[in-house]
Structure formats: structure tokens, C-alpha cells
Amino acid sequence: MSVANPPVQTEQQTTGPEPGVRVGPIGLAWRPRVLAMTVVALVVAVVVAVLALGLGSAHLSPLDVLRTLAGHGEGAQEFIIMDVRLPRVLVALLVGVALSVAGALTQTFARNPLATPDILGVTSGASLGAVTVIAAAGGTSLAPVVANLGVPAAATAGALVAAALVFALGWRGGLQSYRVVLVGIGITAVLDALTSYQLVRAKVTIATAASQWLVGSLSGVSWQSVWPLLVVVVLAVPLALACSRSVAAAQLGDEVAWGIGVHVTRLGVAVGLLAVVLSAGAVAAAGPVGFVAFVVPQIAVRIAGTSRPPLLLSALLGAALVTGADLLGRILLPNEVPVGIITTIVGAPYLIWLLVRHSRELAS
């Protein structure tokens, strides 16, 4: 038998470093398109924020806004911007960041575009806490105080207790995502029912106030609302970014992820905690602002052309969306429209448009 021809020598192909950006000693393996989009989103968010500071019942030009922020504003302008609008815009930005990051984390980890932090019971718990306090204190002299301190506190407490309950009951020798989802559904149903029960029993004026909160609104926001949320975002978002490579690995499936050294259980707990804390912070400040956690990561995925939502891009898009929605809500109609309604009225049709255009991709 003749021996086969000696194999042709193949050239050694050196693979260079992944295309990315190096900034000094810090190398970020970002794809150019994601980086470009993130910068664009940052610019958009800043522009929207400046507009939101300027527009409203009293119009100020962007120059005036910037001047006032730098400390050289006139008295009335300074009041409007520093005392009235700045806290509101800051909360809007932070809420957008928090909800989008929470949504992006949940969707990537659960490998499901329908997954939102709501399934962990956060929104239902917060709603129950807030409505209970509003119903209990409504009509009494405590009402204004309650609105500023009691409601956010009760919402936070409710959110954290509900999430803890879901985690605890979902834990059975480990954290299977399927079980957690089912437990979340059960607990959410109970909490929502208790909230509805109180809404029906309360006086109609109090029910209105509670419903306002329930739809997601920034109308009662003051500087007091800013600090807790700022702390949460400043702590949680960098942690989320640090996790993001592991979360991306988890997207390949539990077994593959274990295989490449990702501690899936611990990661699940970490992601869950971060999502809960971010959601709770946002909901405590502004109520459950609808659709942000759900739709912003999906927008980010499509803009960036990646398979999973880039965290920073999602955060900036969310900030722009919520701030822009609140701005629209303030100036569009004589009566202010709560931001939660605007985000849903913008977000839902966008999702529908996505479905109509890309139905085959989504079906696979």
C-alpha cells in the first residue's frame, strides 16, 4: 500500500488580541460598535437631562441650565433647577439606570427575553407596602409626611421582604431558576391580591393616590429621594459590571458554565440580589415604572448587534428613556402624565414593532 502524500505544512496563524479599546493600562474588550453606541447613548442621556431641566412650566434655555448647574444662575432659575427639577431629573436618570441594569441581568441570566425582576416579587412587595401605608395614613394629618418618608420606606421594606420570601421558598438544596419563577408567581399573586383588596376598600380619593403611585410617578420626588437611590446605584452597578463576564458565560447553559469555571449557584444568588436591590431602590423612589426593565435591554441588544444586552449601554438608554418620558409627561398635556404611563405607551408599541419585523428570529 502506498503511503499517503506528506501533509502540507499549514501556516501557523497567529490570532491577535480581540478587537477592542485600550485606554492606558486598562484594556476593555469592547467591540467597536458597542462602544460607539454606548458613547452615543451617553450623549443622548446628557442632552435629554439638560432638556428636562430646561423645559417645563417655565422654560429655560440649555445655556441657562448649564450656567445654573455651574453655580452662576440667577435666583429664580436657581430655585427652579436646583430645588425643583434637578432632584427629579436625577431620580429619573437613576431609576432608568437601575431598572435597565436589573432587567439586563435578569434577562441574560435567565436566558429568556421575557424575564424581568418582577418575577422575584419585588414590584408586588413594594406595591403592597406602599399602598398599605397610603391607605393607613391617607386622610389623616400624617399624609404629607407619610408620602415623603413612609411610602418609600414601606415600599423598600415590602420589596426586600417579598424577594427574601421568594428566594427562601425557592431554595431547595440549590436555586433552580424554574422553581424560583414558580414560587415568584405564587407569591406575586398573593401580594397583588392583598393590594387590590385594600384598593377596593379604601376611600376613592385614597385609592386614586395609591393608583398614582402604582403606575410609576416622579411627581412627589425631592432631594430626599435622590440619596438612597444614588447609593444603591453607585454600589450595585459596578458590581453588576464586574459580574457581566460570568453572566455572559452562564448564558451558554449551566453545564457549560460550570465547565469553564463559573460558580453558577453563587452567580445566581449574586445576580438575584443585585437585581432585587436595584429594582427595590428604583421602585421605592418612583413606584413601579412599567416596561423599562423589560424593553430597554431588548433595544440595547438590537442597537449593539450583540446576543446579550450590554450593561452600560442598557443603563444609559434606560436613563435617557425614563428622563425623556418624564419630560414628555410634564409638557405634553396640561395635567402631568405619570412617567410609568409614558414608558409603557412608548415601550409596548416598540416591542410590537420589533415583533412584527423580526418575528422569525424571535420564534427560534
Partner 1 sequence: MTSVQTRTPAGTRRLALGITLGVGLVLVVLASIWIGSNGISPGAVWHGLLGDGSHEADVVVWGSRVPRTVIGLLVGGALGAAGVLMQGHTRNPLADPGLFGVSAGASLAVVLGVFVLHTTSASATVWLSLVGALVGAVAVFAVSTAGSGVASPVPLALAGTAVSALLAAITSFIVLGDQASLDAYRRWVIGSLGGRQLEVVQAIWPFLLVGAVLAMLNTRALDNLALGEEMARGLGERVGMARGVGLAAITLLTAGATAAAGPIGFVGLTVPHVARAVIGNAHARLVPVAALLGAGLVVLADTVGRVVTGGDAEIEVGVVLAVIGGPVFVAVARRRSLAAL
Partner 2 sequence: MTVPVLQTRGLSLAYDKRTVVDDLNLSIEAGTVTTFVGPNGCGKSTILKALGRILHPAAGEVLLEGTPLPQLSTREVARRLAILPQSPVAPSGTSVRDLVMRGRNPHQSWARPWSKEDAQAAHEALERTGLADLADRDIATLSGGQRQRAWIALVVAQAAPTLLLDEPTTYLDLAHQLDVLRLVRQLNREQGTTAVMVLHDISLAARYSDRLVAVRDGRVVADGTPQEVLTADVVARTFDLHVRIVPDPVTGTPLVVPEEPALTGS
Query: Which region, judged by CB under 8 A, interacts with partner 2, from 4-12, 190-198, 251-259, 311-319?
Result: 4-12
Instruction: Tell me which of 2, 7, 11, 356 binds partner 2, using CB under 8 A.
Output: 7
Q: Does 71 bind partner 2 (CB under 8 A)?
A: no
Secondary structure, 3-state, 200-266: HHCCHHHHHHHHHHHHCCCCCCCHHHHHHHHHHHHHHHHHHHHHHHHHHHHCCCHHHHHHCCCCHHH
Q: Which is nearer to partner 2, 26 or 363 (CB)?
A: 363
Q: At what angle do helices 223-250 and 311-331 cross, to 10 degrees?
A: 140
Q: Binders of partner 1: how many residues, by CB under 8 A?
A: 54
Q: Does 6 bind partner 2 (CB under 8 A)?
A: yes
Q: Which does 7 bind (CB under 5 to 8 A by kind): partner 1, partner 2, none?
A: partner 2
| Nearest partner of 105 among 341, 300, 354, judged by Cα | 300
Binding mask 173-212 for partner 1 (x = CB under 8 A): ---x-xx-xxx-xxxxxx-xxx-xx-xx---xx-xx--xx
Question: What is the rounded CA–CA span in Å between residue 281 and residue 178?
Answer: 25
Q: Does 360 bind partner 2 (CB under 8 A)?
A: yes
Q: Give the 3-state secondary structure percentages of the chain, helix then strand then coil, rounded to 5.
A: 75, 0, 25
Surface-to-core class of residue 29, CB atoms within 10 Å of its CB (0-12 exposed, 13-18 middle, 19+ buried): exposed
For 45, the enclosing helix (H) or strand (E) is: helix 32-54
Query: Which region, judged by CB under 8 A, interacts with partner 1, from 76-84, 253-261, 301-309, 332-340?
Result: 332-340
Footprint on this chain of partner 1 (rule: CB under 8 A): 113-114, 169-170, 172, 176, 178-179, 181-183, 185-190, 192-194, 196-197, 199-200, 204-205, 207-208, 211-212, 215, 290-291, 294, 335, 337-338, 340-341, 344-345, 347-349, 351-352, 355-360, 362-363
